[in-house]
Amino acid sequence: MPAEVSRREARRQAVILLYQRDVTGLPVPELVENALRAGEHADDPFTRSLVDGVDADRAMIDDRITAAATGWTVDRMAPLERNILRVAVWEISTGNVPVPVAIDEAVEMAKKWCAAEAPSFVNGVLGRVAREPTGEAA
């Protein structure tokens, strides 16, 4: 039975799995098995719901990110930033967490793992996404 982890840890793990998929091209189940062998909690139900949700809605998520990221497309973004944004946009889109929580969690991950300008970029993109709930460009 999977160990339950905090939602913050589940988000972190989901971003890592999605990042690894982008970089390696390996399927998510294989990445989960690798993470489990490494002692990660990749089989946590919330982690899997985030990964599966992003996978299922990836085209919509990427469209929303591109529309909100003035002058950028998802393909031009660094893989880690792209997947931090994907997880947050999926959470914003589902309404399962308050929008400020999704944005704060994403910005904190960007502060920890990305370049110095990433947190403000992530915050700006997610702020615009949050103001456009239909996904239409402003």
Report angle CA 51, 55, 58 to the nearest 5 degrees. Answer: 125
Domain ranges of the chain: 7-131
Q: Model-level pTM greater than 0.85?
A: yes
Cα separation, 138 vs 132, whole angstroms: 7
CATH number of 7-131, picked from 3.10.20.740, 2.40.170.20, 1.10.940.10, 2.60.290.11: 1.10.940.10
pLDDT tens figures, 90-122: 999 998 899 999 999 999 999 999 999 999 999
CA–CA separation, 115 and 62 (whole Å): 21
Buried/exposed code over 60-73 (b: 16+ C-beta within 10 A; e: otherwise):
ebbbbbbbbbeeee
For residue range 27-47, what is the model confidence (pLDDT) as tens digits?
999 999 999 999 887 889 999
> What is the predicted pLDDT for the residue at 58?
96
Residue 136's pLDDT is what? 41
Task: Please report which confidence band the pLDDT of residue 12 belongs to, taking 50, 70 and 90 as the band edges.
Answer: very high
Q: DSSP states of 64-104 as a string?
A: HHHHHSTT--GGGS-HHHHHHHHHHHHHHHHTSS-HHHHHH
Residue 128: count other Cβ atoms within 10 Å of its Cβ.
17
